[in-house]
Amino acid sequence: QEGKHGVEGSATLFYMVHCGKALYNNLLWKNWSAGALSKMVIVGNSFKGMEERLLSRILERDYSYIAKVLKGTEEVALPTHPRYLDTFNDTSIHWFPLHKLKELSPEVWDFVEEPTYQDCDDLEIIRKEDGTDGHSPAAAES
Residue 44 is part of which domain span?
14-87+100-109
Q: Model's pTM, two decimal places?
A: 0.81
pLDDT in tens, the chain (142 residues): 567 878 888 899 999 988 999 999 999 999 999 999 999 999 999 999 999 999 999 999 999 999 999 999 999 999 887 777 777 678 999 999 999 999 999 999 998 899 888 777 766 655 565 444 444 444 433 3
pLDDT of residue 7: 86
Report the candidate in 16, 90, 18 with the shortest Cα–Cα distance to residue 48.
Answer: 90
In a domain, 115, yes or no: no
pLDDT of residue 65: 97
Residues 6+ apart with CB under 8 A from 52: none
pLDDT of residue 49: 94
Per residue in 44-72, is it b (16+ CB within 10 Å) or e — as a string? bbbbeebeeebeeebbeebbbbbbbbeeb
In a domain, 32, yes or no: yes
Total domain count, the chain: 1
Please give the angle made by the CA atoms of 104, 1 and 58, to the nearest 5 degrees.
45
In a domain, 78, yes or no: yes
By residue count, the chain amounts to 142
In a domain, 54, yes or no: yes
In a domain, 139, yes or no: no
The CA radius of gyration of the chain, in Å to the nearest whole number, is: 15
Q: What are the phi and psi torsion angles at 45 (to 5°)?
A: -60, 145
User: What residues does 98 pair with on adjacent strands?
Assistant: none
